[in-house]
A and B are shown apart, each in its own frame.
Chain A
Amino acid sequence: NAGVTQTPKFQVLKTGQSMTLQCAQDMNHEYMSWYRQDPGMGLRLIHYSVGAGITDQGEVPNGYNVSRSTTEDFPLRLLSAAPSQTSVYFCASSVGQGFDEQYFGPGTRLTVT
């Protein structure tokens, strides 16, 4: 199993550009989530999904959209990039709801200039 994969690994955007961060898992996990990691602020939940077709907002959802058309994929879309969105983004998945081990992807380092 590849586990949780993310692409790209690094990305530089200009302010106002849009892009999609890809996340896929091959473990048949129902629960998937997106976090951003900023220095000294831990991991903050952006959006999550408890199954295909179901998404919900986390702690910091503004400026991001998600969709979950399949169990395997959970892309994160930045609508109009801003410098405040410079961060490391982690996708994670777990078997059940959030009270199971979260398997994290390798992360995407995003810089917005």
Chain B
Amino acid sequence: GENVEQHPSTLSVQEGDSAVIKCTYSDSASNYFPWYKQELGKRPQLIIDIRSNVGEKKDQRIAVTLNKTAKHFSLHITETQPEDSAVYFCAAFDNNAGNMLTFGGGTRLMVKP
């Protein structure tokens, strides 16, 4: 089955700096890669996703890049703000392998004012 590894597990940045979180996946057939944000005590919520026919996608201060050859994808947050502090999860989906969404272990991002 699919295996998704996420790094780093914790990330501390100064307000205004950029943050980058990286994920690798094992199944080359995976074709959908979402990112979820989970604030403390809350449910995970989708912030951005990318499909395998696209190399990069942006939405205001967040962007995701995908390298299918290397089987890795990354989340980029620019001009970080204290409200960006949360746990971020990457995930990979392969609809040819049981319709399962596999999550990475999560990254706790702390933005210091």
Task: Report if A75 contacts B (CB, 8 A).
Answer: no
A43-B44 in contact given A59-B100, A99-B93, A99-B95 (Cβ < 8 Å): yes
Verify if B1 is at the interface (C-beta below 8 Å from A).
Answer: yes
Give A contacts to B, CB under 8 Å.
Answer: 31, 33, 35, 40-45, 48, 50, 56, 58-59, 90, 97-99, 101-102, 104-107
Give the residues in chain B near A40, CB-CB below 8 Å.
Answer: 9, 105-106
By the criterion CB–CB under 8 Å, are A98 and B44 in contact?
no
Residues from chain A with a CB closer than 8 A to the CB of B36 are 102
**Listed A/B pairs (17) with beta-carbon separation below 8 Å:** A41-B105, A42-B4, A42-B103, A42-B106, A45-B101, A48-B100, A56-B98, A58-B100, A59-B100, A90-B43, A97-B95, A98-B95, A98-B100, A101-B34, A101-B49, A102-B36, A104-B45
- The B contact surface, by secondary structure, is strand
CB distance from B97 to the nearest CB of A (A): 10
